[in-house]
Structures are given as structure tokens and as C-alpha cells.
Structure 1
Amino acid sequence: METSPSRHLSVVVAAPAHVAYAYAADPERLPEWAAGLAAGVEQVDGAWYADSPMGRVRVDLAPANDLGVLDHVVTMPDGERVLNPVRVLPWGEGCEVVFTVRRRAGVDDAEFEADCAAVAADLEALRDRLERRD
């Protein structure tokens, strides 16, 4: 089995973990903070779809849970399924959101760095949204 490197990216958020989890777990809020899934989020026959820079993708979210697990599988237009591990971890009175970026087969260094930069920007946007909420 060929393995590819992963990179763990995180932000510390001045909001309780349960608040961050509830916000980030809501697919309808994705356009507010996740540029990679920024447009056209809709539910069709119980499944979530988004218009992304890669084309129309399906987004399958982890079932609601008390552990802060926000894993999601994105099915690309060509049928490739990409698992995105995400966790919301309590951190003092706030939380830390950790996203594991996995390098897909065939992705070169520049593309991987661009993927990581996009996820880092999304995490910053998530923090900004959560810290502006009352």
C-alpha cells in the first residue's frame, strides 16, 4: 500500500468546542468559511452537494457525535473519494480545530502546498466567523 504524507493544520478558536462543532458541522454554513466548497451547497435526496473549484462534488459528513469528529468524504467529479479528517478539540475555554490534509496520489509538491494553503485559509475564516458570533 502506497502512503502519502499528511499535514495537520490547526487554529485555536476563542469559542467553546461544542459551539465550534455545531457551526462547522452544519453543511449549510460551509459557504461562510470553506472556500473549497463555497458555492451552491444543497441537499438532494439526503446527500449534500457543493459547487467547488474542482466541479460539483458530493460531501458525506460524519454522523453527529459528542467527540468533535467532523470527518467528511468528498467525492470528486471523477468519482475519487477523498477522506478529510477534522477534529474540534476542547482547549481551555475555547477549542482547537485540526484538519489533516492528505496528499492524494499524483499531486505534486506545488499542488499539495496549494491545498494546505487553502485549508489554512478556510480554518482562519472559520475562526473569524466563530469569534465574531455572540
Structure 2
Amino acid sequence: MTTMTSRIIHISIERDWREVYAFMADHERMPLWATGLSSGLTRDGDDWIAPGPLGNARVRFAADNEFGVVDHLVTLDNGAQINNALRVVPNGEGAEVMFVLLRQPEMSDSQFAEDAEWVERDLAALKSILETGSHKQGSGEEHGKQRQ
């Protein structure tokens, strides 16, 4: 059995964990902070379609739950699948958001480091949005790059 190198990237957010989960589980809001989805998601049955530089990605999210799980499976046009484990847990009166980044086959050290930096920026954007309340008025158009 072979396992991939992994890195857990996390951030503390000064908001009740249930509010953080509710925001993150609203898939139409993901493009506000997840810059790989900056052009938006379109519902297609149980899946969502995310256009990107590598073509359309099909995204299947975990069902709504009371455990803070926002996992999602991304299937690229070429059939490659990427499991993204994304969790929200209570941290005192706030929340801890954790993303498990798995180094994909054929990914170089520098690509893995760049992917980790990207996730860190996305989680920092999530924190900023939720702690300032800008999700109630902002459009999220400040994110211009595409990532899947």
C-alpha cells in the first residue's frame, strides 16, 4: 500500500464553528474564498461544475452534516480524482478549519509547496471574510486566479 505525502493546513477563526460550517457548506459562497473556484460553481444534479484552466471539474460535496465535514471529491476532465478533506471543529468559542493537502502523483516538491501556500491564502481569506462580516456585502471578485 502506498500513501501520499500529506500536510494539514489549518487556521483559527473567531466565529462560532457552526456559523463557519454553515458558510463553508453553502457551495455557492465557496468562490468568495476558495480561489480555485473564483469563476463560480454551477449545480448539475448531485454534483457541481467548476470551470478552470484544465477544463471543467466535477465536484461532489459531502452531504450536510452536524460534524463540520465539508469534504469534496474533484473529478477532472481527464478522469483524475482528488479527494479534499476539509473540516471545521470547535476551538473554544471559535473554530478551527483544517484542510488535508495530499501530494498528488507526479507533483514536484515546488508544486506541492505552491499548492500549500495557495490553501493557506484561501483559508486566510475565509478567516478575513468571516471575522469582518464582509460575506454579507462583498462579491468576492478580488480573487482572479484559477486552481483546481
Sort the TM-score into its range (normalised by shorter chain): over 0.9
- The answer on whether the counterparts of 2:60 and 2:72 sit within 8 Å (CA) in structure 1 is yes
Runs of 4+ in 1 over 2 A off after TM superposition: 52-55
**1:40: how far off?**
3.2
Identity in percent: 39
- The answer on whether the counterparts of 2:47 and 2:61 sit within 8 Å (CA) in structure 1 is no
Superposition RMSD in Å: 1.3
Partner of 1:15: helix, strand, or coil?
Answer: coil
Amino acid at match of 1:56: N
More strand by percentage? 1
TM-score normalised to structure 1 length:
0.94
- In structure 2, the partner of 1:36 is 36
User: Which segments of 5 or more consecutive residues in structure 2 lack a partner in the other structure?
Assistant: 137-148
2-structure distance, mates of 1:46, 1:103: 27
- The answer on whether the counterparts of 2:12 and 2:97 sit within 8 Å (CA) in structure 1 is yes
Q: Deviations over 1:64-105 (max 9, x none)?
A: 111111111111121111101111010111100000000111
Partner of 2:63: helix, strand, or coil?
Answer: coil
TM-score normalised to structure 2 length:
0.86
User: Which segments of 5 or more consecutive residues in structure 1 lack a partner in the other structure?
Assistant: none
Q: Deviations over 1:27-79 (max 9, x none)?
A: 10011000012113111233211123433111110011111111111111211
